[in-house]
Amino acid sequence: MREEDAKLQLLNYFKARVELSEEEEQHIRDAYTLHHFKKKAFVFEQGKPTSLEGFIVSGTFRVYYNDSKASEHVLYFAFPNWWIGNMITFHSDQTSSLSAQALEEGYALLINKVDSEELFRKVPKLERVFRIMLQKSFSVLQKRFLLTVSSNAEERYKELLERSPGIEQLVPQHQIASYLGILPESFSRMKKQLLKGN
């Protein structure tokens, strides 16, 4: 993966949403750096003080949270052209409250909090892009929350399959269980149940 190709992909993402001058494009290029992640590598890790946001160029990632009993809760899976970040989940002690891990080998363009603020200053148009992106993300998270509190694991599973067909080929089963908010054992039983009932 050439860094230039990755940045073109990012610029295309922005240019689909807002017009950019040559100079603005250059500021964006300068602000992001390409990183490679091997399978199971971390983009950021819960408890560690690195504040960043990333644009996924290729690969699949999972963003998750370790609760007080150290069990993992998958917040979301992320794919190319999505954003992952922990800038908005930092504790006051400046540690990340989430982890992001590569599920397969992949690339992401990263930016830290300071450079990000600087970039917003240089290219204010990006405020708009991120406002709209955040509205979308908020809406998706809100749906996820409401589905979680208003339905059982089986309904959530069916919804996931509709929304992300092929997810089961990409992601191990115990992580799907975690995304659904149940244990691998419960998920295994639920699938068996579904096969019978169908």
Partner DNA sequence: CGAAAATTTGACATGACTCAACTGGAGTGG
Partner DNA sequence: CCACTCCAGTTGAGTCATGTCAAATTTTCG
Contacts to its own copies by CB under 8 A: 65, 67-69, 71, 73, 75, 87-89, 120, 124, 127-128, 130-131, 134-139, 141-146, 148-151, 181
Rounded to a whole number of angstroms, the minimum distance from the CB of residue 61 to its own copies is 16
From the list its own copies, DNA, none, pick the one residue 187 interacts with, judged by a Cβ distance below 5 to 8 Å according to partner type. Answer: DNA
What is the pattern of x (binds DNA, CB under 7 A) and - over residues 162-181?
----------xxx------x
Print the binding letters for residues 136-165 with DNA: x by CB under 7 A, - otherwise: ----------------xxx-----------
DSSP of 39-99, one letter per residue?
A: TT-EEE-TTS---EEEEEEES-EEEEEE-TT--EEEEEEE-TT-EEE-GGGB-TTS-BS-E
Residues 6 or more apart whose CB falls under 8 angstroms from that of 7 comprise: 28, 29, 32, 34, 109
Q: How far is the CB of 182 from DNA (least distance, A)?
A: 3
Q: Are the C-beta atoms of residues 155 and 181 closer than 8 Å to each other?
A: no
CB 18 within 8 A of CB 129: yes
- Nearer of residues 140 and 194 to its own copies, judged by Cβ: 140
How many C-beta atoms lie closer than 10 Å to residue 53's C-beta? 22
Positions touching DNA (CB under 7 A) are 152-154, 172-174, 181-192
